[in-house]
């Protein structure tokens, strides 16, 4: 995804959650920024986005991780299980009044990938709704169904159960 800055000539700000192992986090940061992308840790993200509001840019959220049990989240059915999702994409799109796209990557052959862009939502947005998150979840499920061989999560998506 971050390679798109080279192809499009547009800055890509990618939100990431720093890893606990500092050496691994440094390695991931280097690999995510080597093509001109700008990885932003979650704790600085809103400040940095507001600071850079002018001009065209892409904001990338890798939203397949699970929010911590204490974080705000949106619960929905995903792959036939109750699943928690971050609410950041919904909030950021509404604050910036920006369109939201799902980018599905799939492997063409070894070392070659294609990206499919799908418009999920665009302003004006309903206040308090979670349509963006729901559309993301449905697009993710459809992508996984189409390209199951490319789906790999190296962590536990379902760390805890939905309360109640």
Q: What are phi and psi of 85, to 5 degrees?
A: -130, 150
* DSSP state letter for 155: S
Residues 95 and 163 in one domain: yes
Of residues 14 and 23, more confidently modeled: 23
pTM here is 0.80
Using alpha carbons, select from 102, 71, 94 the residue that is nearest to residue 84. 71
Q: What pLDDT, on a 0 to 100 scale, did the predictor assign at position 2?
A: 43
Residues 52 and 79 in one domain: no
Q: What pLDDT, on a 0 to 100 scale, did the predictor assign at position 134?
A: 96
Domain that holds residue 50: 1-62
pLDDT surpassing 60 at residue 6: no
pLDDT surpassing 70 at residue 3: no
Could you tell me what percent of the chain has a pLDDT over 70?
92
pLDDT surpassing 80 at residue 133: yes
* DSSP state letter for 67: P
Q: Which two tokens stand for residue 50?
A: 């507001």
pLDDT surpassing 80 at residue 52: no
Last-in-domain residue among 62, 77, 104: 62
């Amino acid at each position: 995804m971050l390679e798109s800055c080279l192809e499009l000539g547009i800055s890509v700000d990618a939100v990431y959650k720093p890893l606990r192992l500092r050496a691994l986090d440094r390695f991931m940061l280097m690999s995510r920024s080597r093509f001109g992308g700008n990885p932003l840790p979650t704790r600085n993200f809103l400040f940095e986005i507001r600071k850079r509001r002018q001009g065209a840019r892409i904001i990338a959220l890798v939203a397949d991780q699970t929010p911590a049990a204490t974080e705000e989240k949106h619960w929905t059915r995903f792959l036939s299980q109750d699943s928690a999702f971050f609410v950041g994409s919904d909030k950021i799109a509404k604050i910036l009044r920006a369109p939201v796209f799902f980018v599905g990557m799939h492997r063409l052959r070894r070392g070659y990938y294609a990206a499919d862009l799908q418009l999920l939502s665009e302003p004006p947005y309903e206040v308090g709704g979670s349509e963006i998150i729901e559309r993301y979840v449905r697009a993710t499920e459809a992508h996984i169904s189409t390209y199951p061989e490319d789906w790999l999560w190296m962590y536990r998506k379902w760390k805890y159960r939905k309360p109640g």
